[in-house]
Chain A
């Protein structure tokens, strides 16, 4: 009986995954169609570059209210008005990572050799793990104790690293004369 129950549970799990992936694929198709006419600058990660501006805005807002604390560890909680700046920035980072991750995937999947594909995918998986860890912490802190500038800096570093990797990839391909290839990668990611 235990074996039968296990089989049913596993099958149910597979069914849920199947349906979930099916919906994801539909969403992917719609997203690719929607960004067909977007300018190229909006197809690459860009929000992470505004970290210093965000930090400056937060600094100005806290100075106005005369809040005193160690800057790097000062928490921004949902009750504070400047929290909206933090929330928007984290959303932007999320979008940046998704874009960078997808562009990276689009480039490596066109690799003709399994060995190179596996090694590049391993680099991608490592970036994904680091990002997931920090985005989970950010999500948790945004809803509980609040997020600090140091947390935002850590998350920005992770996103900036993958964005730099992606930019290096695209530049390498563009410099070798494969501009159409780069365009196709950006439109599909």
Chain B
């Protein structure tokens, strides 16, 4: 099944946007702040060029194209996962207790995705393709959940991500959401709508690229200063005192409310 004119146009536009994004990432020195996201952008360009070249050279139905596509796909999916983990670290690592919880959650999510992918590919005719497909699906769902949790935690504890990190997180999250929806509808019965599916896929990714390009038009704002911290020993001692005080206040309130009802 060859790509139609619109899909070719969107593909070319996508490559152009990826190159522009890559150039902006290095021009604005974002690579110093978000290394894995920058690596992801570089790999996107490399994937775009490699897949485009394989498509022109061997056609979309060839084995060579399929191998090129899947190899590039695995690398890019892994890089996307790392970029999200990096966003979590950038925003939460300044807060030791929360970062410990977030880190554990990330390990658990990673393990669940791999177990899910292994379980779904076990009985499949082509286990490697099924494993990769399930890993991507699991990763997309996880990224969506992680981005919501990251932004939500930021709002709850008033520890906002930096403006650029926030836009990148939203772009990755919305792109993953579009992938989840598109993958839900991509099955054998829907094969006749393959061109619609491909077009939607390309449009979703181009939109994500635009989302990342927009904040990079201007110089990067200064990184959010780290919060004022006190030494670990003193902090633990004072917070224990506070906890005891909170308990005292709660007991006192209970006593007052009991005396009110007597």
Say whether B166 faces chain A, with CB atoms less than 8 Å apart.
yes
Q: Are B235 and A25 touching (Cβ within 8 A)?
A: no
Could you list 16 further interchain pairs (A-B, Cβ under 8 angstroms) beyond the known A21-B152, A22-B170, A29-B163? A7-B181, A11-B181, A15-B174, A24-B155, A28-B154, A28-B155, A106-B227, A108-B239, A109-B157, A111-B235, A112-B235, A112-B236, A113-B236, A117-B97, A123-B246, A169-B242
Say whether B144 faces chain A, with CB atoms less than 8 Å apart.
yes
Q: Are A18 and B151 touching (Cβ within 8 A)?
A: yes
Q: Are B241 and A172 touching (Cβ within 8 A)?
A: yes
Q: Are B236 and A116 touching (Cβ within 8 A)?
A: yes
- Residue of A with least CB distance to B162: A29
Q: A109: which of B98, B144, B151, B174 is its contact (CB, 8 Å)? A: B98
Using C-beta atoms within 8 Å of the partner chain, give the interface range for chain A: 35 or more
In the complex, chain B residues whose CB is within 8 Å of the CB of A117: 97-98
Give the interface of B toward A (CB within 8 A).
95-98, 100-101, 144-145, 147-148, 151-152, 154-161, 163, 166, 170, 173-174, 177, 180-181, 184-185, 227-230, 232, 234-236, 238-243, 245-246, 249-250, 253
Q: B147: which of A18, A106, A165 is its contact (CB, 8 Å)? A: A18
In the complex, chain A residues whose CB is within 8 Å of the CB of B161: 25
- Residue of B with least CB distance to A183: B228
Q: Are B184 and A110 touching (Cβ within 8 A)?
A: no
In the complex, chain A residues whose CB is within 8 Å of the CB of B97: 109, 111-114, 116-117
Q: Which of A101-151 contact B (CB under 8 A)?
A: 102, 105-114, 116-117, 119-120, 123
In the complex, chain B residues whose CB is within 8 Å of the CB of A4: 184-185
Given A4-B185, A161-B253, A178-B230, residue A14 in contact with residue B148 (CB < 8 A): yes
Say whether A89 faces chain B, with CB atoms less than 8 Å apart.
no
Q: A19: which of B101, B170, B180, B236 is its contact (CB, 8 Å)? A: B170
In the complex, chain A residues whose CB is within 8 Å of the CB of B236: 111-113, 116
In the complex, chain B residues whose CB is within 8 Å of the CB of A164: 249
Say whether A50 faces chain B, with CB atoms less than 8 Å apart.
no
In the complex, chain B residues whose CB is within 8 Å of the CB of A113: 97, 236, 239
**A26 vs B221: C-alpha distance when bound (angstroms):** 14
Q: A14: which of B144, B157, B185 is its contact (CB, 8 Å)? A: B144
- Residue of B with least CB distance to A128: B156
Q: Are A7 and B180 touching (Cβ within 8 A)?
A: yes
Q: Are B230 and A181 touching (Cβ within 8 A)?
A: yes
Tell me if B's interface is mostly helix, strand, loop or mixed.
helix
Q: Are A168 and B245 touching (Cβ within 8 A)?
A: yes
**A7 vs B186: C-alpha distance when bound (angstroms):** 13
Give the interface of A toward B (CB within 8 A).
4, 7-8, 11, 14-15, 17-19, 21-22, 24-26, 28-29, 32, 102, 105-114, 116-117, 119-120, 123, 161, 164-165, 168-169, 172-173, 176, 178, 180-181, 183-185, 188-189
**A123 vs B249: C-alpha distance when bound (angstroms):** 11
Tell me if A's interface is mostly helix, strand, loop or mixed.
helix
18 A-B pairs whose Cβ atoms sit less than 8 Å apart in the complex: A11-B181, A14-B173, A15-B173, A15-B174, A22-B151, A25-B161, A26-B163, A110-B230, A112-B235, A112-B236, A114-B101, A116-B97, A117-B97, A123-B250, A165-B249, A181-B228, A183-B228, A185-B228
In the complex, chain B residues whose CB is within 8 Å of the CB of A109: 95, 97-98, 157, 159
Q: State the Cβ distance, A103 to closest chain B Cβ, in Å.
A: 9
- Residue of B with least CB distance to A28: B160
The list of the 5 closest CB pairs from A to B, nearest first, reads: A184-B228, A21-B151, A117-B97, A24-B155, A25-B160
Q: B184: which of A8, A32, A181, A189 is its contact (CB, 8 Å)? A: A8
Q: State the Cβ distance, B223 to closest chain A Cβ, in Å.
A: 13
Q: A172: which of B145, B155, B245 is its contact (CB, 8 Å)? A: B245
Q: Are B158 and A11 touching (Cβ within 8 A)?
A: no
Q: Are B228 and A180 touching (Cβ within 8 A)?
A: yes
Q: Are A25 and B227 touching (Cβ within 8 A)?
A: no
- Residue of A with least CB distance to B158: A102
**A184 vs B180: C-alpha distance when bound (angstroms):** 41
